Structure formats: structure tokens, C-alpha cells
Amino acid sequence: MTVNLTYSNQYVSYTREELIKKVAIQMSDKRFQHVLRVEEKALELAHLYKVDLEKASIAALTHDYAKERSDDEMIDWIKSHDFDLELIEYGNAIWHGIVGASVVRKELGITDEEILKAIEYHTTGASQMSQLAKVIYVADYVEEGRTFPVVNEARQIAKKDLDEAVAFETKHTLLFLIQKNARIYPKTIETYNTWVVNK
């Protein structure tokens, strides 16, 4: 897909092409291709659910910006930026969203709170999510490179009902984590209790 999107200068002081370059140098080509696919899916969902396309593009392109930082750098960041120190227990899978939003704010100069929250919540979800945050959360789960067993079902739901897609993703991510005995970030349960229970 060729994305034809001209940024307004409202959220970042550079063009989409310049942002893409800033993102590309932060990560492996494999991850960068994933980021481009998340942007593609996020724009598709943003169009469908009437979410600002420029914000969707920026949040998608930056959602994994800090994912390849070293554990040491992330732990330093947590200690020096007023995060709950318990976060240190959780590892990069959790840090790269929550800490990543803070890195994006500082290094890319992005200050729009809705974009930063979408980055922050893209792995764990949250009990309160904007439509933009839901789009990024779901786009990351169903982008066309994903191949896990329920991804086609998730893609179908994503086209029909964004909230239901959030619920489906949250439920199946939890089941996946528990089946492999992986640590669960407590906020993920707030997401589950809000979006999955009684849906």
C-alpha cells in the first residue's frame, strides 16, 4: 500500500517521510516492516471508525519506537522518570509501551496526549481508551503479518466493532499468556474487567 498522507505540522514538526526515517534507524528491518503494517492497518481502522488519520499514522509509526532499547537503558529511564518501580519486574514486553511513550515524548518532541496514551496502552490496553488508542491496540494485533490461530477471527471482528475487537484481543492475549505461564501486568486485568466482562 502506498500511503498518501501529508502531515499538518500540528503534532510533529516534520513530514511523515522524515518521521519514518527517525523510526527506521531505531530498529531492525523486520520490526520496521511490522511498524509499517501496523500503520497501514491503523489507517484502515481509523478511516472505518472516523479517527484522525494523521494521529493514527503518527501513533502507529512510533508505537514500537523504544522496543529495541537495552534493558539497562529502560531501567534507568524508569528510575529517573518517576515511574512506579514495580514496573522493573515486568520486562521489555511491558516497558516498551509504557516507558516508550515517555521516550517518544522526549526524543521525538510529540506532546499530544492522545497519541502518547495510544503508545502507552498499545500492549496492555486500559480501562479508559480513546478511539485512537483502540485503533492502535487492535491494529498491532491484526496487522497482515500476524499468523497466530485466532488472527482471522480478530480481523473480521475488527472490521465490524472496534470495542468488540478490543475485548477479543484482551481475552485471547490473556489466555495465551496464562497458557505459557507468562507474567501478567496487573493493569491488563483492569482492561479485561472493563472490556471483556459482560460483553
Where does this chain bind a copy of itself (CB under 8 A)? Answer: 171, 174-175, 178-179, 181-184, 186, 189-190, 192-193, 196-199
CA distances from 149 to 125, 135, 176 (A): 21, 21, 11
- Residue 175 beta carbon to a copy of itself: minimum distance, rounded to whole angstroms: 6
Q: In this complex, which beta carbon is closest to a copy of itself, that of residue 27 or of residue 125?
A: 125
* Nearest residue to 158 via CA among 148, 169, 146, 145: 169
Q: In this complex, which beta carbon is closest to a copy of itself, that of residue 20 or of residue 184?
A: 184
The C-alpha cell 472505518 sits at 48
- Residue 13 beta carbon to a copy of itself: minimum distance, rounded to whole angstroms: 41
- Residue 145 beta carbon to a copy of itself: minimum distance, rounded to whole angstroms: 26
Q: In this complex, which beta carbon is closest to a copy of itself, that of residue 6 or of residue 179?
A: 179
- Residues 89, 143: Cα–Cα separation, whole Å: 29
- Residue 125 beta carbon to a copy of itself: minimum distance, rounded to whole angstroms: 14
**Beta carbons of 127 and 191 less than 8 angstroms apart:** yes
Q: In this complex, which beta carbon is closest to a copy of itself, that of residue 102 or of residue 194?
A: 194
Q: How far apart are the first and last CA of the chain?
A: 34
CA distances from 37 to 4, 34, 107 (A): 15, 5, 23
Q: In this complex, which beta carbon is closest to a copy of itself, that of residue 94 or of residue 129?
A: 94
- Residue 184 beta carbon to a copy of itself: minimum distance, rounded to whole angstroms: 5
